[in-house]
Amino acid sequence: MGRARILVIDDDSEVRAAIAEALTLDGYEVETALDGSEGTVLVGQKPYDLIFCDLRMPELDGRALYQEFRGRCPGVLKRLVFVTGMARTAEYESFLRKTGMQVLPKPFTIHQLKGVVARMIGPQVGAH
């Protein structure tokens, strides 16, 4: 009945705004967080159907956020997608392989973004 709720966690304001705008225009309820700490607070306050999270952020990065969610609310992990240009780097490749987390590689197109959303939560009812 209600619109699907999506959280975008990214320290890059342009990426955060682009994802939020594209999904809002498609009828999703979108909230954003500037970093992992803010994202953790929001996830603790309300449920999200999907969470896009930058993997490489200062302080609480995607790996630390993964550990936080794994300990406090593991069900969130099945709705988490990392957005990164670092998936094939030594720093993150083994983490992503080990955890099996979904990844949307940067740079991405709006079509790719919408494909991930459709795969993870299905089409938005009444979307344009």
pTM, to two decimals:
0.91
- Domains and their CATH numbers in the chain: 5-119 (3.40.50.2300)
Query: Over its length of 128 residues, how does the chain's per-residue pLDDT go in tens digits?
Result: 468 999 999 999 999 999 999 999 999 999 999 999 999 999 999 999 999 999 999 888 899 999 999 999 999 999 999 998 866 777 788 899 999 999 999 899 999 999 999 999 986 554 44
Alpha-carbon gap, residue 53 to 39, rounded angstroms: 9
